[in-house]
Structure 1
Amino acid sequence: MASSKPIPCGPCIEGKVNTKADIWCYNCDEGLCSTCSGHHKRSKLSRDHKIIDIKNYKPSVQAIRTECDKHGQQLNLYCPSHLMPCCDECISISHSKCTGIKSLASIVEKTKIEKSKESIEKDINSILQLLGKIVNNKSQNIKRGEQEYKSIKEFIVKIRNEIDKHLTHLEKKIYQEADTILNQEKSKARDLIAEIEGKQKNLKKMQDQLHTVIPHMPQNSNHF
């Protein structure tokens, strides 16, 4: 059953504005109007909070009871021994021997802080988990990048070795062909030189013979 009294919007109350709540947030433990609920849903810290329509919210007796049923005074104190809110007269009559009496507002505030702390801690853990995934992902990217760099470097070295091997083979082949051509040309040149020298020798021999024959020829050919 819904509350008989309208539940105000917590943030609006903090801003000194009395606005009727449209939803209830269990994490924040307060009501929210339509405007504040919009900000609440968009906020990263509160978008995952558990909320319900204010019509379906069933507040506990302690949440809506602000006056003492026995004395009609405002409940402004809290007895930790009996775990209950009290008015000034309750404390003086029934809880005079109890220790650790505290302001009810401080207890409520502490409860809200603890709930907010749990919510914030949950959000921090989610962020830490996300950051951990990002770090792990980037570390894997670095590792893959290093492996790819190593593979590319090895591939380049392999290609370079193959090119060097091919160039060495080509160089050796060219040298061999050049040596063959040179030896062939040298052989041809030597054969030609030998042939020319042979002809020179024969011509010189003929020349010598001519020099020998001419002086012994008759000077007067009229005798014939």
Structure 2
Amino acid sequence: MSAEDYHQLPTFIKEISSQCKEHQERFERYCYFHVCLCCVQCITDKHQKCQDIKPRSVILNQVKSSASVPLFEKDLKNLKRNLDKALKYMKKRISANNTKKTEAVDEIRHMTKLIDDFLNELEQTILDDLESKHSKLKSEMVILVQQMEQRAVQINQLQVEFTKMTQYATDLQMYVGLKEMRKLHQSNKIYRRFKTGRPI
């Protein structure tokens, strides 16, 4: 193997040693029972009872031509294909979820605008109705105040005339005058009750 080819190997492969780490001797045998390579000292220490031990060359000569190599290669391809499918599916789902989120946000904003428009329209309707009723009530109250002020002037005049009548009128004039003033007083009674807060 050239140095260039050697550097193409994965790191964990380059770290595999042909010597036993425990005894610092070259692997010479393979134990089928323990499924491991062994040095001479390993066989003496740990594999004396193992029956199926063969030279390392037997297992190594078969490794590249064994069925396990293409099977493992097939498994890797299947794993890669399945992983690619899973990744494609997940990316598709992420994209679909993003699209649904965007659609949901747009729908929420659309509904929010509809609600805002409805509330604004309702608010304006209520305000317009309030303004209309307030203007009408204000107008009626202004007219009523004007009428009451006119009646107040009339009553003031009536008081002045009543004072003069009591001072200068004859008994007959006083009698007739009181009857006329009572009529005027009754016609102004509604305003007096309104002013004092008593029911009409």
TM-score (norm 1): 0.47
Identity %: 17
d(CA) in 2 for partners of 1:116, 1:207: 130
Cα distance in 2, alignment partners of residues 196 and 172 from structure 1: 35
Match of 2:119 among 144, 147, 167: 167
Cα offset for 1:165? 1.1
Q: What are the equivalent positions in structure 2 for 1:54-73 lying under 5 Å apart?
A: none
* Equivalent residue number for residue 136 of structure 1: 88
Q: 2:131 — aligned with what?
A: 179
Relative contact order, higher structure (CA 8 A, sep 6+): 1
Aligned to 2:36: none
Alignment match, 1:191:
143
- Deviation (angstroms), 1:172: 1.1
Q: 1:150 aligns with which of 73, 80, 102?
A: 102
- Rounded to whole Å, the distance in 2 between the matches of 1:141 and 1:123 is 27
Cα distance in structure 1, aligned partners of 2:59 and 2:111: 77
Q: What is the TM-score normalised by the length of structure 2?
A: 0.53
Provide closer, same or farther for how the CA distance between residues 120 and 182 of structure 1 changes in structure 2, counting only shifts above 3 A: same
Structure 2: which 5+ runs fail to align?
1-31, 34-56, 172-200
CA separation of 1:215/1:135 partners in 2, compared to 1, >3 Å: closer, same or farther?
same
Cα shift at 1:214 = 3.1
Count of aligned positions: 119
1:217 equivalent in structure 2: 169
**Stretches of 4+ aligned residues off by more than 2 angstroms:** 105-108, 110-113, 212-219
* Distance in 2 (alpha carbons) for counterparts of 1:211 and 1:107: 145
Structure 1 residues 110, 213: closer, same or farther in 2, change over 3 A? closer
Name the counterpart of 1:112: 65
1:150-174 deviations in Å (ceiling 9; x for gaps): 1101100110111011101111111
Go from structure 1 to structure 2 and tell me whether the alpha carbon gap of 1:116 and 1:218 turns closer, same or farther (over 3 Å shift). closer
Q: 1:108 to 1:211 in 2, by over 3 A?
A: same
For 1:140 and 1:207, the matched residues in 2 are separated by: 98
Superposition RMSD in Å: 2.6
The 3-state SS of whatever aligns with 2:152 is helix
